[in-house]
């Protein structure tokens, strides 16, 4: 068994306040015995496009320094949520939404730049992420043998959840844990969040750890929260039901994962050669 935590925050424009809040929740998760802790999307600064652009920082900037210190202080594997990364100091308009995973000594084990950007005009959920960041162009996977021999983390960020091919590619490449740091909107969250998370867990036979933002950041920017941990059968192991900041924890049983993949071996019975769609059918 490996105890993990999904942290739920209510971040705003003030980075120092946001990281102080997140630090308290990381400490709470560590006290509960969590060895892997996942933070939400844009944990350090959340708000309008102008807020996000002004808060961009280099990869090895203040937020990563904070995350390194947290991982080392608590002796945990820390998925530090995401932050807006300034990609090139000579090109200030080049930014990405970047996730980082750190070891208990604060070493960066892997990172991921969000591939699918949230450009949406649904009433109550209008946002153009492409006005702030550019998309990444690769997926990311990190094995954590010191956490558990079967622990392999696949990265995603929020809107990626709507693209099942991301999660299938990660599972086929060896992922057993899928992380979903998010700021899922209050408009789309109630009908879609849990359904999509459980679907990704079931179809890819992985654990899913989803850490969300909750609350209202600014007029027109409200977030669903409802952080969740789900097993490979699609059962919800833990979920945040209270509003605002908090921590949910659960124990991941990798024996259960092996059992699910053995009794219902859908991953093993894929037939990729037959998946081409042809007009001459």
The DSSP line for the chain is -EEEEEEEB---S-HHHHHHHHHHHHHHHHHTT-SEEEPPTT-S--SSHHHHHHT-B-TTSHHHHHHHHHHHHHT-EEEEEEEEEE--TT-TT-EEEEEEEE-TTS-EEEEEE-SS--EEEETTEEEEGGGT--------EEE-TTT-TT-EEEE--GGGGG-HHHHHHHHHTT-SEEEEEE--BTTTHHHHHHHHHHHHHHHHT-EEEEEEBEEEEETTEEEE---EEE-TTS-EEEE--SSSSEEEEEEE-HHHHHHHHHHS-TTTT--GGG----TT-
Question: Active site residue: 57, 85, 158, 239, which one?
Answer: 158
- Label residue 278 by pLDDT band (50, 70, 90): confident
pLDDT tens digits, 21-54: 999 999 999 999 999 999 999 999 999 999 999 9
- Label residue 123 by pLDDT band (50, 70, 90): confident
For the question of residue 158 being annotated catalytic, the response is: yes
Top CATH class of 2-268 equals alpha beta
Question: Active site residue: 57, 85, 114, 239, which one?
Answer: 114
Question: Active site residue: 41, 57, 85, 239, which one?
Answer: 41
For the question of residue 203 being annotated catalytic, the response is: no
For the question of residue 206 being annotated catalytic, the response is: no
State the pLDDT at residue 139. 98
pLDDT tens digits, 224-277: 999 999 999 999 999 999 889 999 999 999 999 999 999 999 999 999 999 988
pTM: 0.96
Mean pLDDT along residues 123-137: 87
State the pLDDT at residue 132. 95
Percentage of the chain lying above the pLDDT 90 cut: 89
């Amino acid at each position: 068994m490996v105890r993990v935590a999904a942290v739920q925050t209510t971040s705003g424009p003030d980075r120092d306040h946001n990281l102080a809040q997140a630090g308290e929740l990381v400490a709470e998760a560590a006290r509960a015995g969590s060895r892997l802790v996942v933070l939400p999307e844009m944990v350090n600064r959340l708000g309008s496009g102008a807020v996000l652009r002004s808060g961009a920082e280099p990869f090895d900037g203040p937020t990563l320094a904070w995350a390194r210190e947290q991982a080392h202080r608590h002796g945990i594997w820390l998925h530090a949520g995401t932050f807006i990364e300034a990609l090139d100091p000579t090109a200030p308009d080049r930014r990405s939404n970047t996730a980082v995973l750190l070891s208990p000594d604060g070493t960066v084990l892997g990172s991921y730049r969000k591939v699918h950007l949230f450009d949406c005009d649904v009433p109550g959920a209008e946002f153009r992420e492409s006005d702030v960041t550019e998309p990444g162009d690769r997926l990311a996977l990190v094995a954590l043998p010191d956490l558990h021999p079967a622990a392999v983390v696949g990265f995603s960020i929020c809107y990626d959840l709507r693209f099942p091919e991301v999660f299938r590619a990660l599972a086929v490449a060896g992922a057993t844990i899928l992380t979903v740091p998010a700021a899922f909107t209050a408009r789309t969250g109630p009908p879609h969040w849990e359904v999509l998370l459980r679907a990704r867990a079931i179809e890819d036979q992985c654990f899913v750890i989803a850490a969300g933002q909750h609350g209202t950041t600014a007029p027109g920017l409200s977030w669903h929260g409802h952080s969740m941990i789900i097993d490979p059968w699609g059962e919800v192991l833990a979920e945040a039901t209270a509003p605002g900041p908090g921590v949910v924890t659960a124990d991941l049983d990798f024996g259960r994962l092996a059992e699910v993949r053995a009794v219902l071996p859908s991953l093993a019975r894929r037939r990729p050669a037959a998946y081409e769609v042809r007009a001459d059918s």
